[in-house]
Amino acid sequence: MTTTRFGAPASNTRAYRYTRPAYATPGALAFRLTRLVWLTARFARRELVTIDDYRRRFGMSLRSFHRDVGILRQAGFEIEPVVKRTYRTVCFTFDSDCA
């Protein structure tokens, strides 16, 4: 095995400390569950859910909203867009094949 020596001096700049986003923290599963329960409660009460309310409350992206709505659709919620950036539930159908 050969040894390699580098003649470059070590860097004097401080290491950059970056904070992890909310979805990358150890409590990410709990945060996702909180978002899903919030959406479920709103849809169960037949309230309109806007993407802006979701983003203001949780600080998540549009993609996260669509991902969470997709999870609820897989669970049996029939969710449809009403107007631009606003969704509502049509009905909840539980299919025994989904369980």
For every residue of 18-42, DSSP letters joined together read -PPPGGGSTTHHHHHHHHHHHHHHH
Q: What is the pLDDT of residues 39-96, one digit of tens each?
A: 999 998 989 999 999 998 888 889 999 999 999 999 888 999 999 999 998 876 665 4
pLDDT band at 98 (very low <50, low <70, confident <90, very high): very low
Question: To which H or E segment does residue 86 belong?
Answer: strand 86-92
Quick one: pLDDT at residue 99?
47
Burial class (CB in 10 A: 0-12, 13-18, 19+), 79: middle
Quick one: pLDDT at residue 28?
77
pTM here?
0.66
